Every structure is written in C-alpha cells, then in structure tokens.
Amino acid sequence: MHNYDPRVEYHKWYYDTEVWEGVRFHGVVTNKSVSDMWNYQEILFELKPALIVEFGTRFGGSALYFSVIGRSINPQLAVLSVDVSHAEVDPRVGEDPAIELMSCSSSAPEVAARIRKLRASKPGSVFFILDSDHRKAHVLAELTLLRDVVHSGDYVVVEDGNINGHPVLPQWGEGPTEALEEYFRMYPQDYERDTVREQKFGFTFAPGGFLRKR
C-alpha cells in the first residue's frame, strides 16, 4: 500500500520543479528552500553568532542573507564564504563589508587556519553551513576539517542530505546523508541532532543536518 505523506510530496514538487533555483534575497539568487532560510534566521537569533562560515558561495545570495540577517542580530558579525571559484558571485555580495570571500576548496587546511584566526578576533559562537560539493567524500572531509575549529555550543548545518532518494534525486549517488552516517559512526559524541528544528516546517533540504556541537 502506498503511504501518502503530503510533506514528502510537497518536498518532491518543490525540488523537482526547481522552485529553489528561483529563490532570491535582495535580488540575488540563493539555492535554498525558503522555510530552511526562515529556520536559519530563528537559529541565528537564538545563537547570536559572532561569525558565520559558509562552504559554497555560488551567486552569493545566501552569504548576503547571512550577512544582512546576522548583522541585524549582532552588528559585529563577520561572514566567511568559501568556494573554489567566485566567478559567478553577484557584485553586491563582494561590496558587503562583512563578507569575506575565500577562493579555495572548503576541505583545504588553509580554511581551518582562516577560521581559527577569525575566531580569535571575533570571540563568540559560530554558525557553519556546508553547501558546496555534495558528494559523500567531500562532505566527510569538510566535517573532519571542522573537528578542529568547532566549539561546544556552535551550530552546524549540513545541506542537501535530501538527495540520493531522501527523498529527491534517487539516482544521485552517496551524498551528505551518507557522509553524516559515516561521520556519526566514527564520532558519535561530537554533535547532538536538532530534530525539533529539522522537523519544524515539515520538510527540509537538510534532513539529519541540523547539528549542535556538544
């Protein structure tokens, strides 16, 4: 018997018709679910981070969102957004005084070094969001790199665990969900899964990916 779940059907419709490709913040494209963005806003208000670290900039709509919303909560906020290439970034993102664009792979050791340096100059909690190369090996490398720079109380979101059939793009191959499964097998005590946040709006592009550092 087919188990009809309207949340799953809405999720598939939202993803497969590429609603998320047309989402904009201040006119700049951000490839996200808008309910996830609202959830991030609520998390930021509770966390009041001094620093937001994003892996995967693309057009920069999400970096701009994190800067504008984050600075309305903490005017001292800095945003570090890492991508292998910033060729596609909207000029308005580069002009934002709080955003630093770092061009290299998010699993490179210099990323950890830069985060450590920023943490030293911006004491306080950090919100991390992983939204770059979604293949399992890369997400696992990012999570492993973060082990040295994430502190207790920080928040980490691992995006796009919905691919590879969770429930979209069933043929994609191993991605963030499989990386998280392997990471939790290796380091079961690192993070507490924030299932209340994850389930708040019925569906998320980051299933299993709302994590609070213990």
Helices then strands (H, E): number in the chain? 8, 9
Query: What is the rounded (10 degree) CA torsion for 146, 64, 87, 18?
Result: 90
Which residues, listed in sequence order, are joined to residue 210 by a DSSP beta bridge? 157
- Find the shortest distance in angstroms from Cβ 108 to ligand SAM: 8
Q: Residue 106, interface with ligand SAM (CB under 6 A)?
A: yes
Among 11, 32, 114, 166, interactor with ligand SAM by CB under 6 A: 32
- Only segment of 5-13, 27-35, 169-177, 188-196 that touches ligand SAM (CB under 6 A): 27-35
Among 14, 15, 40, 55, interactor with ligand SAM by CB under 6 A: 55
Q: What are phi and psi of 149, to 5 degrees?
A: -125, -10
- E strands present in the chain: 24-25, 28-29, 51-55, 78-83, 99-103, 126-130, 155-158, 191-193, 210-213
3-class secondary structure, 176? helix
In angstroms, what is the C-alpha Rg of the chain? 16
Among 62, 74, 125, 204, interactor with ligand SAM by CB under 6 A: 62
Q: Residue 213, interface with ligand SAM (CB under 6 A)?
A: no
Total residues interacting with ligand SAM, rule: CB under 6 A: 20
Number of neighbours of residue 3 by Cβ within 10 angstroms: 5
Among 17, 72, 76, 85, interactor with ligand SAM by CB under 6 A: 85
Q: Could you tell me which of 39, 22, 199, 201 has the C-alpha nearest to residue 129?
A: 39
For residues 90 and 59, the answer to whether their CB atoms sit within 8 Å is yes
- Only segment of 4-12, 57-65, 187-195, 197-205 that touches ligand SAM (CB under 6 A): 57-65
Q: Residue 132, interface with ligand SAM (CB under 6 A)?
A: yes
Please say which residue, 29 or 50, places its beta carbon nearer to ligand SAM: 29
Among 58, 119, 136, 213, interactor with ligand SAM by CB under 6 A: 58
Query: What is the rounded (10 degree) CA torsion for 51, 54, 30, 195?
Result: -90
Q: Residue 83, interface with ligand SAM (CB under 6 A)?
A: yes
- Only segment of 25-33, 117-125, 168-176, 195-203 that touches ligand SAM (CB under 6 A): 25-33
- Only segment of 28-36, 118-126, 145-153, 163-171 that touches ligand SAM (CB under 6 A): 28-36
Where on the chain is the footprint of ligand SAM (CB under 6 A)? 30-32, 55-59, 61-62, 82-85, 105-106, 131-133, 138
